[in-house]
Structure 1
Amino acid sequence: MVVVGAGIAGVACAVELARAGLPVRIRERAHVPGGRMASKRFDGRPADLGAAYFTVSDPDFAAVAESWRAAGLAREWTDTFVAYDRDGRRAVSGPMRWAAPRGLRSLVEHLARDLPVTVDRLVLGVDPGPSVDGDPCEAVVLAMPGPQAALLLAPALAAATMAAQAQRWSPSLAGVLRFPSRCWEDFRGAFVNDHPLLTVVCDDGDRRGDGAPVLVAHTTPEFAAGHLAQPTGAGPAIEEAVRDLLALPEPAEHVHVHRWTYAKPTVAGTGTHHLDADAIGLAGDAYGTPRVQSAWRSGRDLGRALVDRLR
């Protein structure tokens, strides 16, 4: 079996297959696993570019989170953000949000530690049989946003193509702003409502636990849509918006902008995954709420469904 995509959904699926003794291979087009649980190092320090945190409500996922905590990879971060809106700034409570001192990518890498993952491997097509780039296999899992999956599927794979095309996704840009010093009022993360550019800003030094003067901002889909061709050009506008929001007295030393063409599902699939008679499976957080837990559960459930079918 071949799993295309080494984000948390693909890795969770492969874990179930390997646990059942079924041969599985993971193909990932990026240099490292992680998917949208992405982290990038700046001067040796990781900053999270994709998911800002994760929450836990599923008992099975709670066990996974505890394994990450036991390995020193995850910690409970905060249950309180601030919210900015037309009425000003206020504190908002919610579920406990978890963070990863080494970056969220480290959690996916930990899950994948015993799996055969091939990175820098661009898959060009999935054909009936099924086969991946002409290589026959028992089943194929596409653990990626539906629009990307649809591009890989041969026209004859109608059921999977329809399921993939039914998904709708919105874009976002993530800006990593590094400052000379911590020059803002203490906060952990902020929801930014009714703003033309920003949706979320996180104190990455607080999130990481090292106090580094680093902020990570995520933009609205509307703003991102105008900068997908040249995301780096959006850096000055993102910096200006963050400095204005937080009343920062000094400019950032460095701004890095990461493009997410498919950042968040807006029209989800039904159930927790897709698996059709052609042995093509789709998994990810498009099946459920757009959360890390949903992506993990989607991959886990698809893996179990494949084990049941192939046995």
Structure 2
Amino acid sequence: MTSDVTIVGAGISGLACARALHDAGRTVRVLDRGRRPGGRLSSRTLDGRPVDLGASYFVVGDDDRFGAVVADWERRGLARPWTDTFQVIQDGGRPTPKTGPLRWAAPKGLRSLALDLADGLDVTSEHTVASVAPYRVDDAPAGEVVLALPAPQAARLHDPVPGAVQDWEPVIAVVLRWEARRWPADLHGAFVNGDPDVAFLADDGDRRGDGVPVLVAHTTGDRARRHLEDPDAAIAPVLAATRRLLGIDADPVATYAHRWTFARPAETTGEPFFRSPGLSACGDAWGQSSSVRTAWASGDALGRALAAG
């Protein structure tokens, strides 16, 4: 039997959309080419513990609907308040603290939040979709179709891409593990401005709450573009930059690199989602700014709109 809605993409936006439809009594299936749900809420188990490779944190802000979801995650131990203070490293200078919104993290990795959203839903992983059209996926009836994936990936499935076309920035996430912490305990995370190699640093043990001496560095877009075919080649320059920026005097004992060809949109549409008969779209390229909260809100809003008919 054909579902009311078929969603392509099991990141947080697609899962939020599916959850809203499911809760409204609609039948929905989610198709994703990845091994597990999560998309850019990606965590990988390295040395026996999850390390966040995609999104670094999330912010609740004034979104009451998302706030209720996060409150439930916190109650069940899936999410934890992390910090409201990051460091800013400007043009290679000394880190200086900057207070901002409260950032949240997940003790078991951010993917665990996606898996929680997926619980009880009809999600098929390792399923590669070749084409979509209004009410059809791979030339088969599919009900309403939702594309919940970056526009460059959506363009491979349908031309033109539903909604606005966005340029996307690549990132390579580099995991660096030491035997002991060699940076200040109050680092938490750092925005890096003016460096050609590193744009952001996160103390993964600090955000996870287990204190393991692991840093995750996100490259600049320029550095990522040089190494999309060989992400491991980004490790050496990123390590050198990280040691220089934080004054670390030793090499790590383990490293790992993960490529995100489409990590974040260069700009957003300002609209909550795109909807047209039979073929709609949602994700973090919609809304006012790209973020985990934006992705969830986009999918949730589209799901409620589709459920309302």
Query: If the length of structure 1 is used for normalisation, what is the TM-score?
Result: 0.94
Q: What one-letter code is carried by the residue in structure 1 that aligns with 2:173?
A: A
Q: Deviations over 1:227-285 (max 9, x none)?
A: 111111111111111111111121011111111111111132241101113x1111100
Q: Which residue of 1 aligns with 2:216?
A: 216
How many Å separate the matches in 1 of 2:234 and 2:94? Answer: 25
CA distance in 2, matches of 1:168, 1:38: 21
What residue is the counterpart of 2:225 in the other structure? 225
Instruction: Give me the CA root mean square deviation.
Output: 1.2
User: Residue in 1 aligned with 2:43?
Assistant: 39
Are residues 1:305 and 2:305 paired? yes
1:114-139 deviations in Å (ceiling 9; x for gaps): 101111111111134x2111220211
* Partners of 1:168 and 1:268 within 8 A in 2: no
- Give, in angstroms, the shift of residue 162 of structure 1: 5.2
**What letter matches 2:14 in structure 1?**
G
Structure 1, unmatched stretches of 5+, are none
**What SS does the aligned partner of 1:60 have?**
helix
* Cα distance in 1, alignment partners of residues 140 and 47 from structure 2: 40
Question: May I ask how many residue pairs the two structures share in their alignment?
Answer: 301
Equivalent residue for 2:18, pick from 14, 23, 38: 14
Q: Secondary structure at the match of 2:156?
A: helix
Within 2, Cα distance between the matches of 1:234 and 1:112? Answer: 33
Partner-residue secondary structure (3-state), 2:95: strand
Indicate if the aligned counterparts of 1:46 and 1:103 stay in contact, CA closer than 8 A: yes
Alpha-carbon deviations, 1:18-54, whole Å to 9, x = none? 1111111111111111111110001220000011100
- The whole-number CA distance in structure 2 between the counterparts of 1:43 and 1:88 is 31
- Give the alignment of 1:152-231 within 5 angstroms: 152-153=157-158, 155=159, 158=160, 161=161, 163=163, 166-186=165-185, 187-231=187-231
Which amino acid in structure 2 is aligned with residue 32 of structure 1?
Answer: R
- TM-score normalised over the length of structure 2: 0.95
Question: 2:193, 2:199 within 8 Å by CA — same for their partners in 1?
Answer: yes
Structure 1 residue 89, shift from structure 2 partner: 2.0
What's the CA shift for 1:111? 1.1
Please state whether the residue corresponding to 2:215 is helix, strand or coil.
strand
Equivalent position amino acid for 1:168 in 2: D
Residues 42-88 of structure 1: CA deviation (Å, up to 9, x unaligned): 12200000111000111111101001101111010000011111353
Which amino acid in 2 is paired with 1:140?
V
Q: Structure 2 CA distance, aligned partners of 1:271 and 1:76?
A: 29
The one-letter code sitting in structure 1 at the alignment partner of 2:176 is L
Structure 2 gaps of 5+ residues are none
Q: Is the 8 A contact 1:239 1:255 kept in 2?
A: no
Q: Does 1:109 align with 2:115?
A: yes
Instruction: Tell me the distance in 1 between the aligned counterparts of 2:79 and 2:95.
Output: 29
Q: Which moved more, 1:80-89 or 1:282-291?
A: 80-89
Report the Cα distance in structure 1 between the residues aligned to 2:78 and 2:284, rounded to whole angstroms.
22
CA contact 1:54–1:291 (8 Å) conserved in 2: yes
- Corresponding letter in the other structure for 1:93: T
